A and B are shown apart, each in its own frame.
Chain A
Amino acid sequence: MANVNTVTTKKTIPKASAPVAKPVTKHVSSKSNPSEFGIIIIGAGGSGLAAGMYAARLGMTSLILGATQGYDLPVGGVITTTHVVENYPGFTTLTGPELAKHIEDHTRTYKEVTIKEERVSSVSKSGKGFVVKTGKGEYNGKMILFATGTKWKKLPESVKGSKEFENKGVHYCALCDGPLYKNKIVSVIGGSDSAAKDALLLAEHATKVYIIYRGEKIRPEPINLKRIEANKKIEVINSTNIIEVKGEKLVTGVVLDKVYKNSKEMKLDGIFVAIGHIILSELAKPLGVKLNRKGEIMINHMTSETSVPGVFAAGDVTDKVFKQLITGVADGCTAAHSAWEWIAEQG
């Protein structure tokens, strides 16, 4: 068990616009009822786990709920599908699953944190707090934190064959399925940093990797752009879309919307899709939480508060601009701290 501190020197860091809060441990712990928590954190990625850890340091009990089903992300979140992480302080380089495990293990050392792999079906207001229902139980929390993140955006159905060949050559996790494409020809669809990292990973297995991007120029972080440019296996095709996935039992190629090297058809063994993410904010809607046009939860970026009192949000589900594990973890800590202040103000 790690050293679990119950903070008693709260007054050293008052919020400028808020009254100085009282010590709050008695308000947010409920050891007598195992289904009652200070804060219920929905989502078990980096943001949610960091929030649980920080809530514990502030003396709050928390329940972190995150479920895996099919290809939904496991505890640890999206970073578990990243091959190499080089932008997290303290670790020069390590794999995403390794980093996720470090964060999860760290969070689990706090006895105030409960992590359950249960899928949340609803969140509703109940008296001064909230009720969260899952397929396995019902839990009460004085506050809610949405750290639900995102899920992979799939190829649109307008791309003929994209659904038919899913897991038959069309993939969404290069880290998982890339090793099956040793000495094969593959493509990555997308132009983001994630797409570039997928291409670099796949180049370790495949003989050739095409990056097919609809925009004028791919836009990874400069460090990864240099790596892409230096890798002889990788070829970038900009300003191009795929309009059809072709195959028999498995993928055999794609049809492009413009000619490339004298043909619109390209032979491929595998297609790895990295065209962005869908925001998972549906559960927040019934509470009246304000969302932007993209479906992101709008937050006060100083406090991680949403438009609904007692409801906070952190990480990729929010309307923040720069979405990385390093920033999501910070959001989780900020949200936990704001929650601590908020509940103290309620008296």
Chain B
Amino acid sequence: MAVKIYTTSTCQWCKKTKAFLKENKVAFTEVDVGANAKAGEEMIEKSGQSGVPVTIANGKIIVGFDEGKLREALGLK
């Protein structure tokens, strides 16, 4: 299962999303788009969004912290 999350260090919803993934023992890769402009461009290209967090889980794009959509994308109950 490939999960990637685009964040900034000052975004509380990013922290919330990461905490949710950790609680559910989901491995993920994090990219700080505030520190990495190229990753920011990649996030915009893939998601069409310029707001964080953007989570890409099993090909599904989730914007903001949305527990329901995360659970659905990750196959969690």
Contact = CB atoms under 8 A, between A and B. Distances in A.
Interface of A: 68-71, 73-74, 76, 80-81, 83, 95, 97, 166-169, 171, 173, 175-180, 182, 249-250, 270
Interface string B47-64: 011111000000000011
A183 to B, nearest CB: 9
Contacts of A95: 10
Given A177-B52, A178-B8, 15 more contacts: A69-B66, A74-B65, A76-B12, A167-B49, A167-B50, A168-B48, A169-B50, A171-B50, A173-B11, A175-B11, A176-B10, A176-B14, A177-B50, A179-B33, A182-B37
Interface of B: 8-16, 33-35, 37, 40, 44, 48-52, 63-68
Contacts of A171: 50-51
9 contacts: A70-B66, A71-B64, A76-B12, A167-B63, A175-B10, A176-B13, A177-B11, A179-B9, A179-B33
Nearest to A81: B12
A179 B13 contact: no
Nearest to A174: B10
A75 B12 CA distance: 10
A176 B8 contact: yes
Nearest to B47: A167
Given A81-B12, A175-B10, A176-B14, A167 B51 contact: yes
Given A74-B13, A97-B10, A176 B66 contact: no
Contacts of A180: 8, 33-34, 40, 50, 52
B13 A71 contact: yes
Nearest to B34: A179
A73 B13 CA distance: 8
Looking at A70, A169, A171, A250, which has the most chain B CB atoms within 10 Å of its CB? Answer: A70
Contacts of A69: 65-68
Contacts of B68: 69
Nearest to B17: A68
Contacts of B34: 179-180, 182
Determine which residue in B8, B15, B40 has the highest number of CB atoms from chain A within 10 A of its CB, and name it.
B8
B39 to A, nearest CB: 10
B64 to A, nearest CB: 5
A250 B10 contact: no
B46 to A, nearest CB: 12
A169 B40 CA distance: 13
Given A69-B66, A168-B50, A177 B8 contact: yes
A97 B73 CA distance: 29
Contact of B16 (A74, A166, A177, A178): A74
Contacts of A166: 51
Given A179-B8, A180-B8, A180-B40, A68 B16 contact: yes
